[in-house]
Amino acid sequence: MTQYPGQRPSASGRAGHSGQYPSGQYPATSPLGLSLPEGAGRRVLVTGATGYVGGRLVPELLAAGFTVRATARHLEDLSSREWFDAVERVEADLQEPGEVREAMRDVHTVLYLVHSMGSGTDFIDRERLIAETVAQAAADAGVRQVVFLGGLHPDKPLEELSDHMRSREQVARILLGGTVPALVFEAGVVIGSGSVSFEMIRHLTERLPVMPGPKWLDNLIEPIAIRDVLYYLAHACALSEPVNRAFDIGCGASQTFKAMMSDYAEVAGLSRRRILATPLPAPRLSGFWIGMVTPIPRGIAMPLAASMAEDAVTEEHDIAALIPDPPGGLTPYREACRRAVARQLAGDVPATWDDDVLAVRDPAEPLPSDPEWAGHTVFTDVRERDGDASPQAVWRAIESIGGTTGWYSTPLLWRIRGVMDQVLGGYGMARGRRDPGQLKVNDHVDWWRVEAIDPGRLLTLRAEMRTGGRAWLQLGVKAREEGGSSYRQRAVFIPQGILGRLYWRAILPFHALVFPAMARNILAAAGRLDAEGPDAAGRGAAGVPDGTVPSGAVPSEAVTTGTAPAGGAPAGTAPAGGAH
């Protein structure tokens, strides 16, 4: 299904921020101030448009004048992007040849910006299948050029590379051997606000002032700023003739990973870090270490750590003959860090590495917005309270939940559950949130994901923690006729097998502590926001001590379990799940 500028997706049960730039009205200047090529008259297809690189590249391509077609597995995943109305949208699974061919119709250049790391243990085979499908579909559709962003790695036999690097090199070889010419960029560590590499460096450096680590901390790495990656990708779409070759790209200076962490500490204004590389390689241990200290889950941390076991340095700079260096030269590592830190402090992070994980979720995975609960055992926990706080203040408290605000109750229990999740390979509490005061569809909030949001009324979060089933948490507010507001909090858990049922029974005592306090304290925080007056609007809410109840709050609580009725949830709603 292809949608053209101006069309909106059909109702899906998810609400999202609509695009603000209709077709032909997107600003003609680069959002990052890049020197862009002339793209008028050329249509490009961006695969992985919801991901970290793709989500940042689309506005640059639009500013250059290209006609941009963006693809995603679910069109609603694109609806929160400000450029949504300025692009052609196509819903496609890149493993389905027919869908990919249709997406490539009348396209000059295809940007291959997807990867499957983090989607399961079979990601190498999945990437091979996708690459073969894309290469054949491009030939069938008459595409002139394919552009692929791969990984920088040593010149070794394929079987000697790490799983992550082997999968990237495998894709590059498939595309280079295809009928349509492929321009392959091989990049090392990409530095930018929200990139997986930058987040790993940032969290390791900020949280561990004295750090023993794996011996790959002494390996040589040549980073590259995300702005330079975007510069190369944009210019690759405007070449006068197709090119079939791989090029190394980097900042032009290599350093050890340990030195990169020390440099980041200086840029971020941290005290001097003591980083010690141990003699043991221990790739699995180092992957576990990354997964525990950073928000990167073990499914990504393991292959990422294994890829760090080799130097990643450019061996040539031939790309300069095809695409000249950016005006002013390539961005040095410290400058890339400075830019990334500044953007994060400003909350200007339009896409992160986590969006790449979201982009490759299994299309067969049931969506929490599906109302098909019939026949399922569904455990619920419902808490309702009335209070004097205004609905607007209650909503601000709801929307600021998680991250630095916390979860309004028993912080120690939340932290313990977060550590348990990280030990099991999940996100834990380390992921935080993208913006401290506002949420949009698909934003991450610690181990949750925003499934749907009806501003001022209802927030639905989908759990991405390790549980024995599927879980959601729904927080809502409505005005009372007599004044004040009614707050409703609903957790839903659909267990998988006997372990899921045992899991729910085991955590019921914790729910009895967590959920009543959570409902009380959200109303308490809302009361404080009302007391602060209009100036408090938009600032979010701070947590309050357990047991604090706003004046006039009247509890009305229920806990229910059972099997969902036929027909499930009402249309347009989603189930919700608690602090598991």
The model's pLDDT over 523-569, given as tens digits with 9 standing for 90+, comes to 999 999 999 876 554 445 544 433 333 333 333 333 443 434 333 33
The reported pLDDT for the residue numbered 198 is: 83
Q: In which residue are the tokens 């005592």 written?
A: 509
End-to-end CA distance of the chain: 37
> What angle (nearest 5°) sits at the alpha carbon of residue 431, between those of residues 426 and 432?
140
Count other C-beta atoms under 10 Å from residue 264's C-beta: 24
Domain residue ranges of the chain, discontinuous segments joined by +:
2-359, 377-563
Query: Computed from CA positions of residues 20, 26, 29, 35, in that sequence, does the dihedral angle turn out positive or negative?
Result: positive
The reported pLDDT for the residue numbered 577 is: 36
Answer whether 0.85 is exceeded by the pTM.
Answer: no
Question: For residues 103 and 531, what is the distance between their CA atoms, to the nearest angstrom?
Answer: 53
Quick check: do 2-359 and 377-563 share a fold? no
The reported pLDDT for the residue numbered 157 is: 85
The reported pLDDT for the residue numbered 289 is: 67
Question: For residues 317 and 568, what is the distance between their CA atoms, to the nearest angstrom?
Answer: 59
Which amino acid would we find at residue 485?
Answer: S
Kindly give the parts of the chain with pLDDT less than 50.
6, 8-19, 23, 118-119, 349, 352-375, 537-539, 542-580
SS3 track for 131-153: HHHHHHHHHHHCCCEEEEEEECC
- Cβ-count burial 197-210 (b if 16+ within 10 Å, e if not): bbbbbbbbbbebee
The model's pLDDT over 207-240, given as tens digits with 9 standing for 90+, comes to 777 777 777 788 899 999 999 999 999 999 999 9
The reported pLDDT for the residue numbered 328 is: 92
The reported pLDDT for the residue numbered 419 is: 80
Question: For residues 113 and 127, what is the distance between their CA atoms, to the nearest angstrom?
Answer: 12
The reported pLDDT for the residue numbered 238 is: 96
Question: For residues 388 and 370, what is the distance between their CA atoms, to the nearest angstrom?
Answer: 35
Tell me if the domain spanning 2-359 has CATH number 3.40.50.720: yes
Cβ–Cβ < 8 Å for 416, 538: no
The reported pLDDT for the residue numbered 109 is: 98
Cα 232 from chain centroid (whole Å): 23
The reported pLDDT for the residue numbered 348 is: 52
Cβ–Cβ < 8 Å for 221, 319: no
Architecture of domain 377-563: 2-Layer Sandwich (3.30)
Q: What are phi and psi of 333, to 5 degrees?
A: -60, -45
The reported pLDDT for the residue numbered 11 is: 36
Cα 297 from chain centroid (whole Å): 12
The reported pLDDT for the residue numbered 2 is: 60
